[in-house]
Structure 1
Amino acid sequence: MRLEDVWLRYRRGGPWVLRSVTVEIAPGEAAVVLGRNGAGKSTLLQLAAGILPPARGRVDGRPAVVGWVPERFPAGQPFTVQGYLTAAARMRGLSRIEADKAVRGWVERLGLGPFQCVRLPQLSKGTAQKIGLAQALLRPPGLLVLDEPWEGLDAAARELVPEVVGEVLAAGGRVLVSDHRGETARLPGAREWTVADQTVTERVPTGERAMVVVELAIPAARVADAVHRLRAEGHHVLRVRGHDAPPPVTRLVSGAAVEESS
């Protein structure tokens, strides 16, 4: 998929948000969109997803199935979780049997079972974000676009995001993701698109970074704060265990350190 000399502004005669942007992403590739707040990251993602049309230029090769996860899921809709996800699956062309199976799978995987009969406006922000993630994945996307997908999610759901990204890439899909939390450090090998001064520059990774596993002992009352700060600094928290759990076994796989239960 390629964005070719794309320009965008929100009103005729208004300031350009993006100018002369040319980037591309191939099947099986991920790109992380970086930049300060207000630089145009969300605008770029919406252009790629087809939410916004360019004022100039064109977007070629966009896959037929696009999964779009906005930064804040629009939860002010008069549907239950079950009803919304089922309707979304049907709109994506799934049969009733396929829709029911897809909804059940993502409800279970995201821990949404207790909320199936709850109406969307009654959900917390984190639970609503899970609905946003689920609806984008009901049909396997050829392009998955994630705008700050970790925002508001609980620890278990945050760990699921890179897993889902890996599955989309393994199936030959493309993934675009923005993030200000440093969570995208867990997507080694991703391209980097930096949005600044109304345009986009790209850095292509030259290879995987070496990783080292460090085990820390932290007082129980400070665990949540420590995990938050480590992730914000770009570290990957593999797991948190209690003092009575057996120690992990560490080994190296393809240059990346992995912990296994003994």
Structure 2
Amino acid sequence: MRPGIYRYTTMRLSQVFFRYRRRDDFVIQDADAQLAPGDVIELSGVNGAGKSTLLRLLAGLAAPTKGTITGRPDVVGFAPDRFPADQPFTVTAYLRHMSRVRRGARWEPWAERLNMEHLLAVPLGELSKGSAHKVGLVQALMAEPGLLIMDEPFAGLDADAREALPAIAAEVAARGAIVIASDHQGGLRALPGLRHWSLLDGHLKESTTTATLVQEKSATVAVTLPAADLPRFLARMRDEGYQAREIEESG
């Protein structure tokens, strides 16, 4: 993590459309936007709105069906919603491998800030979703990206990592990078100057207040299961980013 401010250019989406197959409906329609150096952007929308698709387009992992995306920084850090943990590495071996790919980028400071010391010897395939998500965040951060993209970065994280992540995002933006996160939990809301994007029916909009954001509908569900299975069930639900707790029956 070298100190300093880097000079990046403005990214632009110009009349961007995207669909997966020729006869499919467009997932993204006529998106126009600018992302300036130092921006932190929160992307919201209901499930299936196309948030992950838009993030992949911004990262350069998919190409627009129509329209252009210009000004993308040379180094992109992408932390996916589901880190591909089915790889034959321990956490340390994977991060060392990615360090070599990233020309010696240091991963250790990021692992320390995300409280990962106890995970370093664990095989990737044995990680919980939240722990695997930390690995994805470290590999995205280690190369000092000019564009940092995080898909649901707070899902499954422990309290310490959740507290650390907004400050990390602010630091990345402070050196001139662009940060954009799809986040239905509002983990970045306290950051000053946060921009708010929403996707509705494939259309990208920017709102100026959190009150106008498109929020995901929530519902409360009661589940009955054997008492012996309860701890494992609650742990799994929390790991997936849901609020889950035991309710004592009265009477």
Amino-acid identity (%): 48
Q: Does 1:22 align with 2:32?
A: yes
- CA shift digits 1:45-78 (9 cap, x unpaired): 1111111111111110000111101111111111
AA at the equivalent of 2:131: T
Whole-angstrom CA distance in 2 between matches of 1:189 and 1:22? 20
Post-superposition offset of 1:35: 1.1
Which residue number corresponds to residue 212 of structure 1? none
Post-superposition offset of 1:42: 1.1
Which residue number corresponds to residue 209 of structure 1? none
Q: Does 1:11 align with 2:28?
A: no
Whole-angstrom CA distance in 2 between matches of 1:54 and 1:186? 32
Whole-angstrom CA distance in 2 between matches of 1:107 and 1:30? 22
Whole-angstrom CA distance in 1 between matches of 2:188 and 2:174? 17
Post-superposition offset of 1:204: 4.4
Q: Which runs of 5+ in 2 are unaligned?
A: 1-10, 210-237, 243-251
Cα RMSD for the two superposed structures: 1.8
Q: Does 1:194 align with 2:215?
A: no
TM-score by length of 2: 0.76
Which residue number corresponds to residue 47 of structure 2? 37
Which residue number corresponds to residue 179 of structure 1? 183
Post-superposition offset of 1:19: 1.0
Whole-angstrom CA distance in 1 between matches of 2:68 and 2:191? 28
Q: Which runs of 5+ in 1 are unaligned?
A: 206-227, 233-262
Query: After the TM superposition, which segments of 4 or more aligned residues of structure 1 sit over 6 Å from their partners?
Result: none
Which residue number corresponds to residue 61 of structure 2? 51
Q: What is the SS of the residue equivalent to 2:97?
A: helix
Whole-angstrom CA distance in 1 between matches of 2:186 and 2:90? 33
Which residue number corresponds to residue 163 of structure 1? 167
Whole-angstrom CA distance in 1 between matches of 2:201 and 2:126? 39
Whole-angstrom CA distance in 2 between matches of 1:108 and 1:146? 19
Post-superposition offset of 1:184: 2.7
Q: Does 1:126 align with 2:136?
A: no
The counterpart of 1:61, out of the listed 56, 68, 71, is 71
Whole-angstrom CA distance in 1 between matches of 2:100 and 2:23? 40
Q: What is the SS of the residue equivalent to 1:176?
A: strand
The counterpart of 2:115, out of the listed 104, 108, 111, is 111
Post-superposition offset of 1:151: 0.1
Q: What is the SS of the residue equivalent to 1:64?
A: coil
